[in-house]
Amino acid sequence: MRALTWQGKHDVRVETMPDPEILNPRDAIIEVTSTAICGSDLHLFDGVIPGVLAGDILGHEFMGRVVETGPKSTLKKGQRVVVPFTISCGGCFHCRMQQFSACDNSNPVEKQDASELLYGHPMSGLFGYSHLTGGYPGGQAEYVRVPFSDVGPIVVPDGLDDDKVLFLSDILPTGWMAAENAQIQPGDTVAVWGCGPVGLFAIQSARIMGAARVIAIDHYPNRLKLAREMGADVIDYRQTHVLEALMEMSGGLGPDAVIDAVGMEAHGFAPDTILDNVKQIVGIGADSGHALREAIMAVRKGGRVSIPGVYGGFLDKFPLGAMMEKGLQIRTGQTHVQRYLKDLLRRIEEGEIDTTFMISHRLPLEEAAKGYENFKSNQNDWTKVVLKPGMAR
């Protein structure tokens, strides 16, 4: 089969790789019909995530048709499914508590040692996201082996196009959980850093959850435009002093909740970002935390900080004093996708949530490298790239 493989920093190539097989009883094999490039894939592309080897297949946002099932799978051949990026067994301590992205049993035992060393506890298995998370071949491919197929994949009706449901795999539940983690109350003002897909879905979710006002922060004109269409007021951080603007836009109190949908590769030329970026390049590996630091400064006292943005290592100069003295609540984590799928699919079916608005480009799988390059360096025009295996060039 054809699949998108990581070959080095800024080097991804579609290669011919062996087809997957059923290995465990609860496996299913999915023939991929649509798969997207994620903002967090760019961290892999930029080489800032450890444990990626040449030849690894990337991709964790995918859907398609079931073509083969193991004897204990509950799926049937021919069913159309969206697959969560989280691989979850359903039976461990964490899965039983609905903490699906913390599953204890999905990361192969020998692979657990690395993340256990790094974080104190081993990470769960994810598709296509380095050997820290198991080294599972990902979904930017023609076929994927899906473990625990009785827990993860959700069956979607044929009447809904791929574009309408693909983002159930990751970014829609991620935006939703980000808003949920902000514990929004009626009357709240919520500020969101980053108008990429997760930020946009967080804005949409915050509105549904009853935020009175949502303020979105970015600098790309097209992304700010999309945020405005979602019902947010916008701040271009290159034109406006963010902290002052947020104070004025929240009656002098400060936003009640803040959402960092930027993560470890924050942009910009603030002194702290430059220092973080130098450290990343040199390999000391400090995550870049400008958006997070700003969010913690901006949020009102006693407010809530929600962090869907992906971080991997250590952050220098974390404003711990601000956090403590202001009495903040911090909620973060990889999305517990399976927790949200049924409810979000229903909202899509009922027309309450639309996901197609943010797809800017559809490319054949064979042109995936072009998709990565533009998604990274042309972020104004390339808001979300969906790859289609089998689409003609």
Partner 1 sequence: MTGRTVTIAKSRAEVFAFIRDLSNASAWMGNVAPAGKADGATMHWTISAPAGVAIDVAARISSEHPDTRIAWTTTSDSQVEGQGEILLRDAPGDRGTEVSAVVAYMPPLGEIGRLMAKLLQVDPHIQGRHALKRLRMLMETGEIATSQNRKQESH
Binding site for partner 1 (CB under 8 A): 17-21, 23-26, 72, 89-93, 96, 104-113, 125, 134-137, 145, 147-148
For residue 49, the number of C-alpha atoms closer than 13 Å in the C-beta half-sphere is 27
Residue 117 vs 278, nearer CB to partner 1 = 117
Structure tokens at 144: 């994927």
Residue among 71 and 321 whose Cβ is closer to partner 1:
71
Tokens at 324, concatenated? 């403590």
Least distance CB 145 / partner 1 (angstroms): 6
Nearest distance, CB of residue 336 and partner 1, angstroms? 18
CB of 6 or CB of 136, closer to partner 1:
136
Question: Cα(381)–Cα(377) distance, rounded to whole angstroms?
Answer: 10
Q: Among 317, 256, 257, which residue's Cα sits nearest to residue 290?
A: 317
Q: How far is CA 52 from CA 128, 131, 167, in A?
A: 9, 6, 24
State the nearest-atom distance from the C-beta of 43 to partner 1, in Å.
20
Smallest gap from Cβ 251 to partner 1, in A, equals: 45
Closer to partner 1 by Cβ: residue 56 or 256: 56
Question: Toward partner 1, which CB reaches closer, 110 or 161?
Answer: 110
- C-beta of 26 vs 213, nearer to partner 1: 26
CB of 26: closest distance to partner 1 in angstroms? Answer: 6
CA-based nearest residue to 112, from 93, 131, 127: 131
If the CB atoms of residues 129 and 375 are measured against partner 1, the closer one turns out to be: 129
In sequence order, the 6+-apart residues with CB closer than 8 A to the CB of 221 are 236, 380
The least CB distance from residue 343 to partner 1, in Å, is: 25
Q: How far is the CB of 54 from partner 1 (least distance, A)?
A: 15
Which backbone phi and psi does 80 adopt, to 5 degrees? -100, 125
CB-nearer residue toward partner 1: 126 or 305: 126
Q: How far is the CB of 68 from partner 1 (least distance, A)?
A: 13
